[in-house]
Amino acid sequence: MVAVKLIPHLLSWAGIVFVLARGVAGRRSTVASAAIAGFTAGVVSVSVLFRFFQGDTPYVIIRDIVGGSLLLLWGVSVTAVYRSNVREFPLSWGGRLVDTPFRTIIEVLAAGILAGAISTCRFSDMAGSALPLILLVLAATAVVFAAMAAEKFLPQSFTMSHAGLMAIVVGLLIFSASSLIRLDLFSPLTMKVMKFAHDFVHQFFESMLIPDHLFIRDYLWGYIGFLFGKEVGFWGGVFIWFTPVILVAIAIGLERLPAVAHIRQGAERRKILAAAIRARRIRLVIPCVAAVILAAAAYRSCFPSVEYWDPKPVPVSADPSGEIFIPRKGEIDLEDGKLHKYLFKQGGKEARFFVLMTPGGKLTAVLDACAICKPDGYGQAEGTVICYYCRTLIPLETVGKPGGCNPVPISFTEKADGVHIDGLKLINDWGSTVQATSRIKGEGK
Amino acid sequence: MKRLLSAVRDICFSRALFPLVIGFFLLLYIGIAFVTNDTLTELMELTRTNMFLTLMLALLPLSSVGRIAAETGTYLTRRRILSGKVVEVPTELFDENVRLPASSSFAGLQGRLNAVGYKTSGSASMLTAWRGVDSFPARGLFLTGTMCLFAGIFISLSIRTSYRGTVIEGEPFPAPTGNGGIVERIVLGRSSGLFLSKSLTMEVASTGDGKAGGKFGIYPPSRYEGAFVYPRYLGVALVIRFYAPDLPAGYETHSILSIYPPGKEAGEEITGSPYRIMLTMAEPDDGSDPFMTGRMVFQFKLLKGKEVVLTGSAPSGGEFSKGGYRLSFPDSRRLVITDFIQDPGVLLIWSSALLFLVAGGIWLPVRVFAPRREMMFRLESEGIRAWSRAEGKSMSHEGVFHEALDTLEAARPVT
């Protein structure tokens, strides 16, 4: 089963080696050895990380590094546009660095380390066993040789710009990461954008002395309210996701054609220009493919092939003193590591919450909603719970802690027989935190 | 010192400075996002309080000024070159720069260029051809807008001061520099505007010591003693009298309650007692707005500890009594919770929006329909030198330029 799940990672790895072999043409043996060394280093580093850090930390580190690569791509793509557009852009030292073998080794090593690290996360639950990791490195080595062999079949006219090469390598790494829900980047990105949009609108209103919603027409406030919604997070995420590859394509499109004014034969001039335009069009293929790969990664993030554990809320009631009691064992076993949802109704009001035993062995009770998003609730998968509204993953270790998109903690008493919750306080907690968000963003489910 | 000044000038004039500083703040934002959810607020606070970050932010308007100076210089130099006033031609001013091996004349070329839509001028030793409109004015406006925007943000973050006051009918206007004239009226009305649904006017009388009064509305914000008057929330200043069986002496308070719109709840603690009154403004059955009409009815909930002991309602000037409890509202006045903001940056940011709008309005049609294309031919001792540049439609322009060179080449006398 793990072998099947490794397919996207190995395919991405094959793609990375394939484009690197062509992108740094003439240095095939350097690419092959640096790729294998990098991948092995990535596998070893992550297995060490899993040995020394518990919980979500290794995933967070790897995800942040993959996110950093997207950021780096942003920098490279903006620079590429400037270089194509601005004649006196001062990058001569950078240009010199780009053409050195040192750069080739660093790039291939870095790509290999990241690809190896991401693939190793598939084996996180097999900690301590070296055999799967050795098999992974052997498979990756075989993929390197296969990709190098396949690259020879590409026509020689197929070239790529340095920014294009980086775009596709980063795209493939992100695609590989998106196969693992805990390394997924797109959904957390949309969440951050949503928060930024909210903060920006608030700060903009304050800074520009724009009147509050009290004085603004409803239709206009409806449009402004749109800026606080999930759609803005999604489209903002799409913008950040795809802009670097679009900029790379624009940079290629803006590349200056060779100066031919000194040639006095019109046919010769046209031939040179046509060849340059053709080469430029071929170089556009790579950013276009990178855009498709990034789209696939975003799609996997929005529609992950993961079954979430999401039980139907069990109705509960309070005793005359207003206390809700949930037994530790019984029809539902609170200690089975799964989240268990409950629905409490009182006086026309209701509150949804769930109880969960964290990996640390402590029971925790939280609302089935966070303080930021519309109360669409949470599902559970692969050591995390996921907010259905913004698709942010919350590690199980942090469920019960307040802040961000974490489910809102509620006060409860854990006794030997089970969990005791104050019903009135629960209703009030739901009312004060959750209804505020649903009023802004529409009704929850 | 001279070298230092030269280095500073080079940095300010550099195109790389602006994206580098923006990139730096982007990285900082991302870094802060790892540790807090209120990233933007934290970044603003950090930039406001940290001298290094404030100086980094100041580089943005400085860079814009540098670019305005540099690009104006480039533009003027190019104009002088094309008019023949300057002989030395820096290579970076043109896209192409060609030398034809032998001398020739421009006979016939001027007519050909005119025929394909270029305007020409020149002398026996020089020919200049151009068509379209230069995008420099739009670029200049854009750079000025950028300068205004970031100067506005810089000023706003550095020196913005905000003071919150409560404007109450019949009370002195709570200006930041001391009390102003008496607030004569607060009028809330319906507005037929495109953006605002309500109009609000605070009418303030002038004071005896020369402080001017005036009328203060919602938007654009009026100014009072240099500060923008920014109305935030509406409410009621309510006099509450309360008697309870265990509080026979009674209690009276002047309460500032932010209870608008109707249904919004605010509370008043009865000091030294377990009582607390929760108040809302009742929504009239006829659908009218009580703040506009002045006909206010207050719904209340009296709590003793956590227990609700009394609920009811009473109009302004009215009283409610039951079971030994008595609650009355002898006086109510409209109030507006108002921020007085001193921030010259706001005007710069507004100006930048206007400048961006004008720049975009000029640039887009110019770039699409009539981009600037220029070429220049000059007779020199060793032959002809030619320069060309295009801001758009460069393929067809280069075609014309190359054909012009071919014409000159063909006209070269056979030796």
pLDDT per residue as tens digits for the range B353-378 = 999 999 999 999 999 999 999 999 99
Mean pLDDT over residues B281-300, rounded? 91
Helix and strand totals (H; E) in chain B: 9, 18
Is A429 among the domain residues? yes
Interface of A with B in 395-414 (CB under 8 A): 403-404
What ipTM does the predicted assembly reach?
Answer: 0.78
CA dihedral B360, B365, B367, B368 (to 10 degrees): 130
Residues B122 and B266 in one domain: no
Which amino acid is located at B258 in the chain? S
Provide the 10 A C-beta neighbour count for residue B222.
17
Whether residue A383 has pLDDT greater than 90: no
Residues B69 and B194 in one domain: no
What residues contact residue A100 under an 8 Å CB cut-off, 6+ apart?
none
CATH code, domain carrying B401: 3.30.310.10
pLDDT band at residue B102 under the 50/70/90 scheme: low
| Residue found under tokens 């966070």 | A370
Query: How does DSSP assign A241-283, residue by residue?
Result: HHHHHHHHHHHHHHPPPPP-TT---HHHHHHHHHHHHHHHHHH
Residue B198 has its nearest CB partner, among A71, A215, A261, at A215
Give the pLDDT of residue A1: 63
Task: Classify A391 in phi/psi space as left (phi over 0), alpha (psi -120 to 50) or beta.
Answer: left
Residues A288 and A148 in one domain: yes
In residues, how long is chain B? Answer: 415
Whether residue A289 has pLDDT greater than 50: yes
Give the pLDDT of residue A94: 55
Task: Please check whether residue B23 touches A, CB under 8 A.
Answer: yes
Is B8 among the domain residues? yes
Task: Please check whether residue A261 touches B, CB under 8 A.
Answer: yes
Residue A89 has its nearest CB partner, among B16, B27, B95, at B16
Residue A269 has its nearest CB partner, among B194, B402, B409, at B402
Residues A29 and A108 in one domain: yes
Mean pLDDT estimate for chain A = 86
Total domains present in chain B = 4
CATH code, domain carrying A354: 2.102.10
Task: Please check whether residue A445 touches B, CB under 8 A.
Answer: no
Pairwise CA distance, residues A267 & A37, whole Å: 50
Q: Which residues of A touch B95 (CB under 8 A)?
A: 256
Is A358 among the domain residues? yes
Q: Lowest mean pLDDT: which of A55-64, A94-103, B127-136?
A: A94-103
Pairwise CA distance, residues B195 & A61, whole Å: 47
Does A264 sit within 8 Å of B405, measured CB to CB? Answer: yes
DSSP assigned state of A397:
G
Contact (CB, 8 A) for A115 and A19: no
Whether residue A445 has pLDDT greater than 60: no
Residues B410 and B261 in one domain: no
Instruction: Provide the sign of the torsion angle of the four alpha carbons A110, A116, A121, A122, taken in this order.
Output: positive
Residues B219 and B253 in one domain: no
Q: How far is CA B21 from CA A225, A291, B183, B242, in A?
A: 32, 28, 47, 61
Task: Please check whether residue A131 touches B, CB under 8 A.
Answer: no
Pairwise CA distance, residues A113 & A109, whole Å: 6
What are the helix (H) ranges across A53-130? Answer: 57-85, 92-98, 101-120
DSSP-derived 3-state class of residue B78 = helix
Residues B196 and B111 in one domain: no
Pairwise CA distance, residues B268 & B325, whole Å: 16
DSSP assigned state of B220:
S
Pairwise CA distance, residues A88 & A78, whole Å: 15
Whether residue A443 has pLDDT greater than 50: no
Residues A388 and A282 in one domain: no
Task: Please check whether residue A253 touches B, CB under 8 A.
Answer: no
pLDDT per residue as tens digits for the range A51-75 = 888 777 888 899 999 999 999 999 9
Does A88 sit within 8 Å of B38, measured CB to CB? Answer: no
Give the pLDDT of residue A88: 57
Distance from CA of A410 to the nearest CA of B (A): 20
Pairwise CA distance, residues B100 & B109, whole Å: 15
pLDDT per residue as tens digits for the range B34-73 = 788 788 999 999 999 999 999 999 999 999 999 999 999 9
Whether residue A442 has pLDDT greater than 50: no
Domain membership of residue B316 as a residue range: 235-337
Contact (CB, 8 A) for B248 and B263: no
Task: Please check whether residue A199 touches B, CB under 8 A.
Answer: yes
List beta partners, residue B385. Answer: B99, B378
Residues A273 and A386 in one domain: no
Total domains present in chain A = 2
Contact (CB, 8 A) for A413 and A420: yes
Residues B346 and B210 in one domain: yes
- Residue B148's Cβ-side half-sphere holds a number of Cα atoms within 13 Å equal to 18
Give the pLDDT of residue A441: 41
Domain membership of residue A143 as a residue range: 2-190+230-302
DSSP-derived 3-state class of residue A414 = strand
Distance from CA of A215 to the nearest CA of B (A): 5
